[in-house]
Structure 1
Amino acid sequence: MSISRRDVLRASAAATVLGGVGMPFVARAQSAEFVYKYANNLPDTHPLNVRAREMSAAIKAETQGRVDLQVFPNNQLGSDTDMLSQIRSGGVEFFTLSGLILATLVPAASINGIGFAFPDYDTVWKAMDGDLGAYVRGEITKANLVVMDKIWDNGFRQTTSSSRPINGPEDFKGFKIRVPVSPLWTSMFKAFDASPASINFSEVYSALQTRVVEGQENPLALISTAKLYEVQKYCSMTNHMWDGFWFLANRRAWERLPADLRTIVAKNINAAAVNERVDTAKLNANVREDLTAKGLIFNQPTVAPFRDKLRQAGFYAEWKGKYGEQAWELLEKSVGKLA
């Protein structure tokens, strides 16, 4: 490549104005062609946001600055229900949302949250990276959203309380528990004769602090990063649901990206999801000791009585009917017979 004397003089003049050697190259660099917002509801320190920032930097580097994916954690741009509306309208371009809340739009998306279905992570990933996950992604696509291939991990959910530990299904009777805005959660805890209240996550801490509800349920990593241990006394390791986050994109915004950029963005998002799974599993495995030191009292209930209670209450039969034979067959293919 030949450089003319005029080019050299132009670069030198720019360097003088900007006050530094090498600055003309910065000055001439174009701003990103695509500045997209990515919103989520998790604290800034959660593994999802740690990996999201890495992912954003990798996308910017690999697209040579053409795509700038800006991360907005901790409900900065609104509640889950607000963000679901915005991802559909294009107010935000990317959003991670629990399938159990996405079910208000895509009913099949909550199937991974069927109570006491998944015994361990091996079973989860076999299902969600396999036929069950593919089925759910197909249903999300029908709702005119773009969804990435890999679901991010939120973890197995545990039950916390300010009033009493949960040792068996009978302890849920009359228990005022916060649940996300999702029919499946409400249905399950009603089957246990509890009193579930649907509250967005951004309001959970204050609801517990003011005793609007006695307890809530979330993975240990989120109980830690959201400091829920400050307003709760007991943590029962119920492992009652596995929950994950689908990485969603507004279809119009996605299709504005040229094909080569879509490939780069999707590759980095899916790679970050796999890394975040490892981080979250480690954090959930190690955080119990830290939460104990902070004063949370742990107990380990037996799972079988909870599953029996759900079966007797008709919970599994009801949701099999709602999801349909195909979806339920794919679930039981991975977890075994439920109903």
Structure 2
Amino acid sequence: MPQAHPATTSLVAALDAIRAETDGRIDITLYPDSQLGSELSMQSQLRSGAIAFTLTSASSLQTLAPVAGIPGLAYAFADYPPLWAALDEGPLSERIRDALGAFGLRSFRIVDNGFRDVITSLRPVETVADLHGLKIRVPPSPLLTSLFRSLGASPVTINLAETYAALQTRIADGMENSLPQIEATKVYEVQKYLSRTGHSWDGLWILAHGKTWDALPGDARGVISRHFDAAVTRQRQDFVAMNTQAEARLRARGLSVATPDRAPFRAALAASGYYADWKARFGAEAWRALERHTGPLGA
């Protein structure tokens, strides 16, 4: 994440607290802004043990453990209470954590990266038809790629660190992300229209290399876990506050803001077979675990 993202600032505070509490015995160095590579590269480095921890999006983890992407299903969650209930404990959380554990990864609580909106340079997105033909930058997520293809757009996968340049040079016509991420990456400097589509939620799992984690003394694991948990709680609060104020700040920076009716977008996805397809891919048990918190999807 960029340095200004609340996930980064909360983790910086946590690592400082860990160093202070242990008199420097535990020293974890943070590399923000994709300094160690793309998300997929860092996932590979984590699995090999080349890095001890990483913060990576649920959407990109879907390429490794498919069920990890299920919280980002389009219009599944409308608000935070059912989302955190699903991901902090219970069958859906257990299913995702077990899937990541099968790849030797130890998962902590998930960080908020928000409900995602569309920002473009060519036109506002007020109806489904406005997406047709637009090249929209997405992370390496099959779920988000499928979502935009189902709505008639042309999704293109671009590393986050390269997105600003891609938008500036019109390799992509727009991107989709949360408002704090749009602010942190400063893409508002090269885009014109913000559309509050709220089409998907994404979070960031804090993950550890399992063997490295298991080799640490028990007291060290306890200190790290406690401060990581506190960082997630703080980050979720900071993110909501930042997100609440972000639209006004982006308007002040010159963006035109539209708030489309979301029901036609969800209806178009259902008609395209998007929900039926992902129900088949995720499997009936995972789908039931999701619908415990969301209600029926795809109707």
SS for the counterpart of 1:157 is strand
Distance 1:179 1:97 in 2: 15
Is 1:238 the equivalent of 2:197?
A: yes
Aligned to 1:158: 117
Is 1:76 the equivalent of 2:35?
A: yes
SS for the counterpart of 1:292 is helix
Distance 1:134 1:164 in 2: 41
Q: Percent identity?
A: 43
The question of whether the paired residues in 1 share the 8 Å contact of 2:120 and 2:175 is answered with yes
Which residue identity lines up with residue 94 of structure 1 in the other structure? Answer: F
The question of whether the paired residues in 1 share the 8 Å contact of 2:117 and 2:198 is answered with yes
Aligned to 2:100: 140
Cα distance, 1:91 vs structure 2: 1.5
Q: Using CA pairs below 8 Å that are at least 6 residues apart, which structure has the higher relative contact order? A: 2
Is 1:129 the equivalent of 2:83?
A: no
CA deviation profile, 1:133-157 (whole Å, cap 9, x unmatched): 2221111111211111x11000110
Which residue identity lines up with residue 301 of structure 1 in the other structure? Answer: P
SS for the counterpart of 1:69 is coil
After TM superposition, the structure 1 = structure 2 runs for residues 301-316 of structure 1, keeping only pairs within 5 Å, are: 301-316=260-275
Which residue identity lines up with residue 11 of structure 2 in the other structure? Answer: A
Distance 1:232 1:331 in 2: 35
Which residue identity lines up with residue 59 of structure 1 in the other structure? Answer: I
Is 1:297 the equivalent of 2:218?
A: no
Which residue identity lines up with residue 102 of structure 2 in the other structure? Answer: K
Cα distance, 1:129 vs structure 2: 1.5
Distance 2:22 2:101 in 1: 26
Identify the match of residue 220 of structure 2 among 261, 276, 295: 261
Which residue identity lines up with residue 41 of structure 2 in the other structure? Answer: D
Distance 2:241 2:218 in 1: 35
Unaligned runs of 5+ in 1: 1-41
Aligned to 1:17: none
Cα distance, 1:63 vs structure 2: 2.6
Cα distance, 1:65 vs structure 2: 2.1
Distance 2:173 2:4 in 1: 26
Cα distance, 1:227 vs structure 2: 0.4
Distance 2:292 2:126 in 1: 29
SS for the counterpart of 2:30 is strand
| Segments ≥4 residues shifted beyond 3 Å | none
After TM superposition, the structure 1 = structure 2 runs for residues 185-200 of structure 1, keeping only pairs within 5 Å, are: 185-200=144-159
CA deviation profile, 1:98-155 (whole Å, cap 9, x unmatched): 111011111100001101111111221121113222221111111211111x110001
Aligned to 1:225: 184
After TM superposition, the structure 1 = structure 2 runs for residues 24-173 of structure 1, keeping only pairs within 5 Å, are: 42-131=1-90, 132-148=92-108, 150-173=109-132
Which residue identity lines up with residue 309 of structure 1 in the other structure? Answer: A
Which residue identity lines up with residue 13 of structure 2 in the other structure? Answer: E
Which residue identity lines up with residue 319 of structure 1 in the other structure? Answer: W
Report the TM-score when normalising by structure 1.
Answer: 0.86
Unaligned runs of 5+ in 2: none
Aligned to 1:175: 134
Aligned to 1:273: 232
After TM superposition, the structure 1 = structure 2 runs for residues 3-18 of structure 1, keeping only pairs within 5 Å, are: none
SS for the counterpart of 1:71 is coil
Distance 2:171 2:260 in 1: 25
The question of whether the paired residues in 1 share the 8 Å contact of 2:196 and 2:258 is answered with yes
Aligned to 2:290: 331
Which residue identity lines up with residue 79 of structure 1 in the other structure? Answer: S
CA deviation profile, 1:14-62 (whole Å, cap 9, x unmatched): xxxxxxxxxxxxxxxxxxxxxxxxxxxx111211111111100111222
After TM superposition, the structure 1 = structure 2 runs for residues 198-209 of structure 1, keeping only pairs within 5 Å, are: 198-209=157-168
Is 1:285 the equivalent of 2:264?
A: no
Rg bigger for which structure? 1
SS for the counterpart of 1:240 is strand
Cα distance, 1:64 vs structure 2: 3.2
Report the TM-score when normalising by structure 2.
Answer: 0.97
Distance 1:147 1:269 in 2: 11
The number of residue pairs the alignment matches comes to 297
